[in-house]
Amino acid sequence: MTPHVSISDLAQHVGQTVTLKGWLYNSRSSGKLRFLLIRDGSGLCQCVVFKKDVSEDTFAAADALTQESSVEVTGTVRAEPRSPGGYELGVSEVQTIHLSHDFPITPKEHGVEFLADRRHLWIRSSRQQAILRVRHTLMKAIHDFFDSRGFLRFDAPIFTPAACEGTSTLFETPYFDEGSAYLTQSGQLYGEAGALAFGKVYVFGPVFRAEKSKTRKHLTEFWMVEPEVAFCDLEQDMDLMEEFLEHLVQTCLRERRPELELLERDIAALEQVQRPFPRIHYDEAVRLLNEELGEPMTWGDDFGAPHETALGNHFAPRPVMIHDWPVEVKAFYFKRTADGKYARGCDVIAPEGFGEIIGGGQREDDYDALLARIEEHKLPREAFDWYLDLRKYGSVPHAGFGLGVERTVAYICGIPHVRETLPFPRMMGRLTP
Ligand code: 4AD
Ligand code: MG
pLDDT tens per residue across span 22-36: 999 999 999 999 999
pLDDT tens per residue across span 172-216: 999 999 999 999 999 999 999 999 999 999 999 999 999 888 899
Phi, psi (degrees; rounded to nearest 5) at 69: -65, 145
d(CA 92, CA 75): 5
From atom 29 of ligand 1, which residue's Cα is the shortest distance away? 218
CB 330 within 8 A of CB 346: no
> Which of 105-109, 288-292, 402-406 is predicted least confidently?
105-109
Ligand 2 centroid to residue 299 C-alpha, Å: 17
Longest C-alpha distance within the chain, in Å?
A: 86
| Amino acid identity for residue 172 in this structure | E
| Ligand 1 atom having least distance to the Cα of 188 | 12
What pLDDT, on a 0 to 100 scale, did the predictor assign at position 164?
85
pLDDT tens per residue across span 37-67: 999 999 999 999 999 999 999 999 999 999 9
Q: Could you tell me which of 429, 394, 432 has the C-alpha nearest to residue 211?
A: 429
Task: Give the pLDDT band (50/70/90) at residue 125.
Answer: very high
Ligand 1 centroid to residue 207 C-alpha, Å: 9
Q: How do strand 172-174 and strand 152-153 relate by DSSP bridges?
A: unpaired
Task: Give the pLDDT band (50/70/90) at residue 399.
Answer: very high
Q: Could you tell me which of 229, 242, 205 has the C-alpha nearest to residue 362?
A: 229
What pLDDT, on a 0 to 100 scale, did the predictor assign at position 213?
85
Task: Give the pLDDT band (50/70/90) at residue 145.
Answer: very high
pLDDT averaged over every residue in the chain: 97
CB 73 within 8 A of CB 19: yes
Report how far apart the first and last C-alpha atoms of the chain are (Å, whole number).
39
- Supply the DSSP symbol for 168: G
3-class secondary structure, 278: coil
What pLDDT, on a 0 to 100 scale, did the predictor assign at position 166?
85
| Ligand 1 atom having least distance to the Cα of 404 | 19
Beta bridge partners of 207: 222
| Ligand 1 atom having least distance to the Cα of 226 | 12
What pLDDT, on a 0 to 100 scale, did the predictor assign at position 1?
84
Average pLDDT over residues 6-29: 97
Contacts of 250 (CB under 8 A, 6+ apart): 273, 274
Taken in order 140, 141, 142, 144, the sign of the CA dihedral is positive
Ligand 1 centroid to residue 91 C-alpha, Å: 51
pLDDT tens per residue across span 235-279: 999 999 999 999 999 999 999 999 999 999 999 999 999 999 999
Ligand 2 centroid to residue 38 C-alpha, Å: 43
d(CA 45, CA 39): 6
Q: Could you tell me which of 134, 237, 251, 247 has the C-alpha nearest to residue 192?
A: 237
Q: Could you tell me which of 104, 106, 91, 116 has the C-alpha nearest to residue 38?
A: 91
Long-range contacts of 336-343 (CB under 8 A, 24+ apart): 336/364, 336/369, 342/282
Ligand 1 centroid to residue 41 C-alpha, Å: 31
What pLDDT, on a 0 to 100 scale, did the predictor assign at position 84?
87
**Pocket-testing residue among 220, 224, 419, ligand 1, by greatest number of atoms within 8 A of Cβ:** 224
pLDDT tens per residue across span 316-352: 999 999 999 999 999 999 999 999 999 999 999 999 9
| Amino acid identity for residue 138 in this structure | L
CB 387 within 8 A of CB 345: no
What pLDDT, on a 0 to 100 scale, did the predictor assign at position 199?
98
How much of the chain exceeds pLDDT 70, in percent? 100
Task: Give the pLDDT band (50/70/90) at residue 108.
Answer: confident
Q: Could you tell me which of 332, 320, 430, 428 has the C-alpha nearest to residue 373?
A: 332
From atom 7 of ligand 1, which residue's Cα is the shortest distance away? 402
